[in-house]
Amino acid sequence: ATAFPCWTPRLAVVAQTTVCETPMLIGYARVSKSDGSQVLDLQRDALLEAGVAPRQIYQDEASGKRDDRPGLAACLKALREGDILVVWKPDRLGRDLRHLVNTAQDLAERGIGFKVLAGQGAEIDTTTAGGKLVFGIFAALAEFERELIRERTKAGLAAARARGRKGGRRFD
């Protein structure tokens, strides 16, 4: 028996306790124009308020339609399993719904969460069950959109062929 009977169990509990690392929040911000008419301040402020460290915010000043966005490439490279990518609005990340869905699915396969802070899609947080549900709905809508485009393209080509036109580019 010791003078402090509670002391030994507490030491045992402390010795068995492991420190759980919280996921790192990585932010991405983008404006479409680099001429100074658009600024990143609003997005940066929202990301900082959400808990993203200033040095963990990646940014681009380029149109979302462009494939070469060095800030996004660096951001995606910096993300590790267990991290969470945070964006202000979904259109800041994806060129279109299809690109957004594909990017988020790639993140999920790597074990990375995705969170949207504002706008249409603010309910997306793939680290929660509800967020996964909402994102699944978005993915289904993207698939539906692709099928509609495919059907319209086929119908347009059939209509053109019926009028004697052939598909493809014209040769000048």
List residues with catalytic annotation.
Answer: 32
φ/ψ (deg, to 5) at 10: -65, -40
Are 100 and 93 spatial neighbours (Cβ–Cβ below 8 Å)?
yes
φ/ψ (deg, to 5) at 63: -60, 145
- Find the Cα–Cα–Cα–Cα dihedral 130, 131, 135, 137, rounded to 10°: 20
Cα separation of 103 and 69, whole Å?
14
Instruction: Tell me the one-letter amino acid at 105.
Output: Q
